[in-house]
């Protein structure tokens, strides 16, 4: 479940188990163990995790269920009170899952706030065309709504040498692109007095394949960083901005230390410095104390922004956070209504972005067939557009091609190889 870091770690868990002679099955009835790598970013995530585990036990009463990830870290012993959960494994301990299962322990969750060292777990999965590389874990911010720092611990960075070795290994295995993931990658190197820009300079001096960045806080996108990236031949012009709100009053209550007017100018600057960059973002709808006026300000600012897409979700109470005790919690209906309004803005922004790209030529990695009946191939452009190609040529998969976007239909892009 959850973020790209969790997806990366889930793949490592799977790989470790397979290397230890476990067999994976898609059928719950055949399985001895059911493992859930959980997410706890919202209450909905928690509820979904409990439903998934309860359902697995219902389908196969003899199965052993194991929960790891962020819920396991924050809830610990409480989880074992549920008769549909057999094992609980912490966020850092998940990398030792084979040893854990061999000892038949019930629970192993250490205090992650005491963890100082980044866990340099390696993923060798060569079935994908774009590699994910986790470069950072944890978060030192204390946003009033967020439980994740308590589930992930303090910010910890992978050594640059390790990162470069992994990228070069990916290239040898045929990958054409690497995606840098983490809980807060903009804090990479913070504990050593370094910045994400220092890392990217090292990466470009020592590697060749293109790279893509995960989510960044507006305060971490400096003019120096933008100048460097705008001149790069390896950087994919794809930004994901962790904005959370487009109203200054709400940002202050969220404990976010920037202003809307500043990041709107930053978005304009990015659009002017790069050729058709994709700018995604996160927005929380219906935060505690968000008035109608606050929301209208957010809507107005999002509409006039140069964003390409907006990932939005309703605010969810997280126990143990500052926002839990604030006054002014909104009803679920109001939060859902506001989420839907922002989703409509996002859909319009995406349509506008795709139409700007109509007729343009891009470097794209051809990933896989999307539908065997139609024979369409799916590819990903450097500026994060999924393009469908009408081709049945299997030899094109995992190759970099120049493609021209020739049609936009139902918010989907269709292209042809140049």
Residue 164, number of CB atoms within 10 A of its CB:
16
Tens of pLDDT along 262-308? 999 999 999 999 999 999 999 999 999 999 999 999 999 999 999 99
pLDDT exceeds cutoff 70 at 353: yes
Please tell me whether residue 141 adopts helix, strand or coil conformation: coil
Per-residue pLDDT at 104 exceeds 80: no
CA distance 314 to 317: 10
Q: Quick check: 279 and 239 in contact, CB under 8 A? A: yes
State pLDDT tens for residues 117-167. Answer: 998 877 776 667 788 899 999 999 999 999 989 999 999 999 999 999 999
User: What are the φ/ψ torsions at residue 290 (nearest 5 degrees)?
Assistant: -75, 115
Per the model's pLDDT, the better-predicted residue between 44 and 234 turns out to be 234
DSSP string, 226-265: HHHHHT-SSB-SEEEEEEE-S-HHHHHHHT----HHHHHH
Place of tokens 């803005």: 345
pLDDT tens digit sequence for 71-98: 999 998 789 999 999 999 999 999 999 9
What is the model's pLDDT at position 125?
Answer: 67
CA atoms of 72 and 87, how far apart (whole Å): 9
Average pLDDT over residues 218-239: 97
Tell me the pLDDT tens digit for each residue of 178-204: 999 999 999 999 999 999 999 999 999
Average model confidence (pLDDT) for the chain? 93
- In whole angstroms, give the CA distance from residue 253 to residue 325: 12
Residue 21 has pLDDT above 90, yes or no: yes
């Amino acid at each position: 479940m959850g973020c790209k870091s969790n997806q990366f770690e889930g793949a490592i868990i799977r790989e470790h188990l397979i290397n230890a002679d476990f067999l994976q099955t898609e059928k719950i009835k055949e399985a001895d163990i059911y493992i859930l790598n959980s997410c706890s970013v919202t209450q909905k995530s928690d509820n979904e995790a409990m439903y998934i585990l309860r359902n697995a036990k219902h389908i196969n009463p003899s199965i052993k269920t194991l929960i790891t990830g962020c819920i396991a870290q924050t809830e610990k012993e409480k989880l074992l009170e549920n008769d549909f959960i057999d094992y609980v494994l912490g966020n850092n301990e998940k990398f030792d899952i084979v040893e854990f299962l061999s000892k038949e322990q019930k629970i192993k969750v250490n205090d992650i706030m005491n963890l100082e060292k980044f866990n340099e777990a390696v993923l060798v999965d060569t079935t994908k065309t774009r590699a994910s590389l986790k470069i950072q874990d944890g978060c030192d911010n204390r946003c009033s709504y967020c439980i994740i720092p308590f589930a992930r611990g303090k910010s910890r960075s992978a050594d640059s040498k390790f990162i470069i070795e992994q990228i070069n290994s990916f290239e040898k295995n045929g990958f054409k692109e690497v995606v840098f993931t983490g809980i807060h990658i903009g804090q990479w190197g913070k504990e050593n007095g370094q910045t994400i820009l220092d890392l990217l300079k090292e990466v470009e001096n020592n590697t060749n394949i293109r790279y893509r960045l995960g989510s960044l806080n507006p305060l971490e996108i400096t003019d120096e960083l933008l100048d460097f990236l705008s001149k790069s031949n390896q950087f994919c012009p794809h930004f994901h901005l962790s904005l959370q709100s487009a109203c200054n009053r709400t940002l202050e209550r969220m404990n976010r230390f920037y202003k809307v007017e500043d990041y709107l100018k930053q978005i304009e600057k990015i659009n002017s410095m790069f050729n058709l960059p994709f700018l995604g973002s996160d927005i929380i709808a219906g935060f505690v104390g968000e008035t109608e006026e606050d929301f209208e300000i957010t809507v107005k600012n999002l509409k006039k922004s140069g964003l390409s897409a907006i990932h939005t979700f309703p605010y969810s109470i997280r126990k143990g956070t500052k926002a839990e005790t604030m006054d002014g919690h909104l009803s679920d209906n109001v939060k859902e209504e506001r989420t839907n309004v922002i989703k409509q803005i996002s859909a319009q922004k995406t349509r506008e972005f795709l139409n700007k790209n109509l007729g343009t030529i891009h470097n794209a990695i051809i990933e896989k067939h999307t539908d065997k009946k139609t024979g369409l191939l799916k590819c990903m452009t450097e500026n994060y557009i999924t393009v469908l190609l009408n081709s049945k040529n299997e030899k094109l998969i995992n190759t970099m091609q120049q493609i021209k976007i020739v049609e936009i239909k139902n918010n989907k892009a269709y292209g042809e190889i140049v």
